[in-house]
């Protein structure tokens, strides 16, 4: 029962964090500065006095509707909730603009390296002991090595062109060599942990007797 309650609390906590983050990004993207939240400015359309033709009224966009909802909230709510959300959203958006977007190619390469590394580690584990579930090969040790490799690869792709531009032509070879060394370490660790391990089993109780079947 306690485990179930802990699970529910964890899910609620993750939902609250995700919702708060999403709301922060929305509020941070709608307003350029926090003063607009405190003192929202209505949109005023100025027309020439001689303008007598019929004009088409623009329908409100989702952004306009969200702003109307926020503007209709009490000042205390806008200050106590809206401003902190805007600050968090502004930080997230700034980080994305300054760090993620300019380096999106490096990030995608690092993600690809991580996925290939994980897939190769599972393949090596299956060759060492095919009876063990593939999930067990992606254990804490393997995941730490994958993360370290990805971080180091990203650092190399980011810093070498800036610090040692004369060595850029060797960058891919350096990353490949580093990944090979990391993969060799993972293979040695998997060999040590799973070479002599018994296969995963499923224990099934039947009407007649107790049977044990391999996965």
Q: Are residues 147 and 96 part of one domain?
A: no
Q: Are residues 76 and 162 part of one domain?
A: no
Q: Are residues 179 and 122 part of one domain?
A: yes
Instruction: Select the more confidently predicted residue: 167 or 200.
Output: 167
Judged by phi (left if over 0) then psi (alpha if -120 to 50, else beta), residue 204 lies in beta
**Cα 40 vs. chain centroid, distance in angstroms?**
33
- Residues 134-154: pLDDT tens digits? 888 888 889 999 999 999 999
Q: Considering the domain boundaries, does residue 209 fall inside one? A: no
Q: What is the pTM (predicted TM-score) of this model?
A: 0.56
The per-residue pLDDT for 215 is 47
What sign results for the dihedral spanned by CA atoms 104, 109, 113, 116? positive
């Amino acid at each position: 029962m306690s485990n179930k309650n802990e699970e529910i609390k964890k899910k609620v906590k993750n939902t609250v964090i995700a919702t708060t983050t999403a709301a922060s990004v929305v509020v941070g993207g709608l307003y350029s500065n926090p003063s607009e939240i405190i003192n929202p400015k209505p949109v005023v359309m100025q027309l020439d006095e001689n303008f007598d033709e019929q004009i088409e009224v623009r329908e409100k966009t989702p952004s306009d509707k969200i702003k109307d909802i926020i503007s209709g909230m009490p000042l205390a709510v806008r200050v106590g909730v809206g401003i902190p959300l805007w600050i968090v959203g502004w930080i997230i958006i700034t980080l994305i603009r300054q760090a993620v977007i300019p380096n999106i190619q490096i990030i995608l390469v690092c993600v690809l390296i991580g996925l290939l590394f994980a897939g190769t580690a599972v393949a090596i584990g299956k060759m060492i002991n095919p009876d063990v579930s593939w999930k067990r090969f992606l254990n804490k040790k393997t995941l730490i090595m994958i993360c370290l490799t990805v971080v180091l690869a990203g650092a190399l792709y980011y810093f070498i062109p800036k610090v040692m531009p004369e060595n850029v032509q060797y960058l891919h070879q350096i990353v490949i060599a580093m990944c090979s060394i990391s993969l060799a370490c993972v293979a040695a660790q998997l060999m040590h942990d799973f070479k002599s391990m018994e296969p995963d089993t499923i224990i099934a109780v039947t009407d007649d007797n107790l049977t044990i079947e391999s996965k």
